[in-house]
Amino acid sequence: MKASEFHLYTTRETPADAEIASHQLMIRSGMIRKLTSGIYTWSPLGLRVLRKVENIVREEMDRAGYLEILMPAVQPAELWQESGRWDQFGAQLLKISDRAGRDFCFGPTHEEVMTDFVRNEIRSYKQLPIVFYQIQTKFRDEIRPRFGVMRAREFLMKDAYSFHIDEQSLDQTYWQMHEAYSRVFERAGLEFRPVKADSGAIGGSQSHEFHVLADSGEDVIAFSSGSEYASNIELAAVAAPAHQRPEPIQPMKQVDTPDAHTITELVEHHGVAIEQTIKTLIVKAAEDSGHAFVALLVRGDRELNGLKAQNHPMVASPLEFASEADIRSATGAGPGSLGPVGLEMPCIADQEVALMSDFAAGANADDKHWFGINWERDVKTPETADLRNAVDGDPSPDGQGTLQLARGIEVGHIFQLGTKYSESMNAVVLGEDGKSHVMPMGCYGIGVSRIVAAAIEQNHDEHGICWPLPLAPFELALLPMNAKKSHRVREFSDQLYAELREAGVDVLYDDRNLRPGVMFNDMELVGIPFRLVVGERGLDEGQLEFRARTATENESLPVDGIVAAVLERLGTRD
RNA sequence: CGGGGUGUAGCUCAGCCUGGUAGAGCGCUGCCUUCGGGAGGCAGAGGUCGGAGGUUCAAGUCCUCUCACCCCGACCA
């Protein structure tokens, strides 16, 4: 491709509304343009990358024997009413109506359409197992779209659905898919981890997420130093500490703390060790608990794990924090002055909290805290549960090694769905026994457009994007120096461009007659993995300069045999 | 949906408080010079100041309403 015939439009300025590197770089390199909130146009440059990802995904799905189909983006309400999700899915479901007033939605996912398709197509266990997939534009009306295509409302997703005669077959396909997913991310050249995940509202027995590791990731994953254990931090269990509760030393005393409404302020202004403080969080209680609210106690330096909390029988699910007004009427104090002493509601303490002594907590009166609190002596020892997020160095839940935490971007998620949809939508086949069987299902998603952003988060520097070769929009940039004046350089470059194309190299030939600095900066911003520079000086010596995007030094390559040398350096390609 | 903020040239923003005939940088067009890490000069094109209403002799600026976008809280590929 000649740059003069391509649409390259880069900008020096960082757009004001782009916060993270991938979003900034995608805008600056001109890969995407925002049409409206959470909805983007892919430019020719961006589309090249998107297609690379898409093709890797497609090839790996095909290799595994899965069958590609294409389902409608617009779906009738009836199907969603049949599964019960028309009302359940919530505001993320974009509902639309046609001229006759019939209801439709723009598909956020395709379980219903898929199940409908299969219940009409598949009649016999002999046709099972079967896996269909599609690569489709989805729409989810996110409350807060952000980070460009990372969390867009409209996005490109690969979704696959498997159908089985029994759970065992589902389990088998599930692990095949796990393998296929790993191949996808390996081929894309990304550093990733599959982790155990919460199956959430979708239910089912098994679920894994695939995360691209990046410091800017929104998810935290935990993996063991001593085993294969890896899970989303939501699921990482924390073992109860083994030590005994120390004997009380301090008397309990009330302290005026008008300057301390957060744990940090309490620590800074009153010299309390943060490990000796307790955070009291008031949440709504489960409906059948007989209470309106429940207090959750975690050590001051710990984070509440929302999933663990809402799974507790006393706690409402989904987790809902009490409003400040609710807190005030229930405790008589504001959220900055709460504690277990004298609290008129059930308390659930994290395991380690029950083993603390001489600790500080709010007094349930504004601007007052109790210091030197001890369980039993000053307040009843509460019920305990595992409520906090794991931290670096916690023992691994499987007993082998310790946990390390890393940040990740969720780019894939696989589920064993069971019969949730096949049952409500009556997707059955005749079994070997001549009877109807409801088909267990699996569903498997990959965020194709999100992978593009995730790859940039993982691979960029101060100059721009550093594409892994398999995702790069072009493999090689051919940069002539001062071609406007130098006929030699231009003619040589024209010729070399033709030869490289002939050899199958995906080359971007910058024939725009720009100054060298502009070309270098553009190619680095766009992230072309390799560049080849043609200049008068080099031609005099019979040499060209070759350089990898991530390298700091040029390599001199002789003009003779240049194409072969370049091919060798590009390495194995698809 | 709550809370906060911003809408002025293609982009990034100043001007608004204190009303008086629309600005800068980048980008774009033309010419000249320059040419190995985002050059310089000259000449240009480009804005119903998000929209509607109001106050005023006069509104980008003040008031009301409205729309859009962004940021902080509950979800997900």
Q: In the predicted model, what is the mean pLDDT of residues A411-429?
A: 94
Mean pLDDT lowest among A119-133, A272-286, A308-322, A543-557? A308-322
DSSP-derived 3-state class of residue A229: coil
Interatomic distance A224 CA / B5 C1' (Å): 43
Nearest to A284 by CA among A308, A258, A319: A319
The set of residues, in sequence order, having a beta carbon less than 8 Å from that of A529 and lying 6+ positions away, is A466, A467, A468, A469, A472, A475, A476, A548, A549
Q: Which residue has the tokens 């059955």?
A: A428
The set of residues, in sequence order, having a beta carbon less than 8 Å from that of A34 and lying 6+ positions away, is A27, A40, A41, A148
Interatomic distance A369 CA / B57 C1' (Å): 65
Handedness of CA A399, A401, A407, A413 (dihedral sign): negative
Q: Which residue has the tokens 């993996």?
A: A223
| Whole-number Å distance between alpha carbons of A95 and A107 | 9
User: Residue A317: its pLDDT value, please?
Assistant: 79
Confidence of residue A316 (pLDDT cuts 50, 70, 90): confident
User: Residue A268: its pLDDT value, please?
Assistant: 86
DSSP-derived 3-state class of residue A555: strand
Judged on CB neighbours under 10 Å (0-12, 13-18, 19+), A548 is middle
Give the tokens for residue A211.
């995360």
DSSP-derived 3-state class of residue A400: coil
Confidence of residue A320 (pLDDT cuts 50, 70, 90): confident
C-beta separation of A556 from A544 below 8 A = yes
Question: pLDDT tens digits, residue range A246-282?
Answer: 999 999 999 998 888 888 888 888 989 999 999 999 8
Interatomic distance A89 CA / B72 C1' (Å): 25
C-beta separation of A110 from A135 below 8 A = no
Q: Is the CB of A220 under 7 A from strand B?
A: no
| Whole-number Å distance between alpha carbons of A468 and A458 | 10
| Whole-number Å distance between alpha carbons of A72 and A393 | 48
| Whole-number Å distance between alpha carbons of A467 and A455 | 7
| Whole-number Å distance between alpha carbons of A66 and A179 | 13
Q: In the predicted model, what is the mean pLDDT of residues A48-70?
A: 98
User: Residue A109: its pLDDT value, please?
Assistant: 94
Highest mean pLDDT among A83-87, A328-332, A466-470: A466-470
| Whole-number Å distance between alpha carbons of A44 and A24 | 18
Which residues 405 to 424 of A reach strand B, CB within 7 A? 410-413
User: Residue A284: its pLDDT value, please?
Assistant: 86
Judged on CB neighbours under 10 Å (0-12, 13-18, 19+), A317 is middle
Mean pLDDT lowest among A81-90, A148-157, A346-355? A81-90
Of all nucleotides, the one whose C1′ comes closest to residue A209's CA is B77
Residue % of chain A over a pLDDT of 70: 98
Q: Is the CB of A10 under 7 A from strand B?
A: yes
| Whole-number Å distance between alpha carbons of A296 and A278 | 10
Question: pLDDT tens digits, residue range A499-551?
Answer: 999 999 999 999 999 999 999 999 999 999 999 999 999 999 999 999 999 99
| Whole-number Å distance between alpha carbons of A408 and A212 | 5
| Whole-number Å distance between alpha carbons of A23 and A29 | 10
- Per the prediction, chain A carries an average pLDDT of 92
Question: pLDDT tens digits, residue range A434-455?
Answer: 999 999 999 999 999 999 999 9
**Is the model's pLDDT at A574 over the cut of 50?**
no
The set of residues, in sequence order, having a beta carbon less than 8 Å from that of A15 and lying 6+ positions away, is A24, A27, A28
| Whole-number Å distance between alpha carbons of A210 and A230 | 11
Interatomic distance A515 CA / B34 C1' (Å): 10
Q: In the predicted model, what is the mean pLDDT of residues A194-208?
A: 77
Give the tokens for residue A64.
């595994």
- Between A398 and A62, where is the model more confident? A62
Give the tokens for residue A15.
């757009």
Instruction: Compute chain A's Rg from CA coordinates.
Output: 29
Q: Is the CB of A269 under 7 A from strand B?
A: no
Give the tokens for residue A554.
């040029």
Confidence of residue A202 (pLDDT cuts 50, 70, 90): low
Give the tokens for residue A28.
């600056």
Give the tokens for residue A239.
């073992």
DSSP-derived 3-state class of residue A8: coil
**Is the model's pLDDT at A203 over the cut of 70?**
no
User: Residue A204: its pLDDT value, please?
Assistant: 63
C-beta separation of A60 from A44 below 8 A = no
- Between A440 and A19, where is the model more confident? A440
C-beta separation of A348 from A314 below 8 A = yes
Q: Is the CB of A209 under 7 A from strand B?
A: yes
Q: How many helices (H) and strands (E) does chain A have?
A: 15, 30
Interatomic distance A513 CA / B30 C1' (Å): 17
Interatomic distance A498 CA / B39 C1' (Å): 31
Interatomic distance A483 CA / B30 C1' (Å): 22
Helical pair A448-458 and A44-63, crossing angle rounded to 10 deg: 110
Determine the residue type at A220.
Answer: V
DSSP A455: H
Confidence of residue A573 (pLDDT cuts 50, 70, 90): low
| Whole-number Å distance between alpha carbons of A350 and A279 | 10
User: Residue A457: its pLDDT value, please?
Assistant: 95
Which residues 345 to 364 of A reach strand B, CB within 7 A? none
C-beta separation of A418 from A171 below 8 A = no
The Cα diameter of chain A in Å comes to 92
Q: In the predicted model, what is the mean pLDDT of residues A55-61?
A: 98
C-beta separation of A469 from A187 below 8 A = no
C-beta separation of A519 from A509 below 8 A = no
Beta partners for residue A136, in sequence order: A157
Determine the residue type at A550.
Answer: T
Give the tokens for residue A430.
């005749």
User: Residue A337: its pLDDT value, please?
Assistant: 86
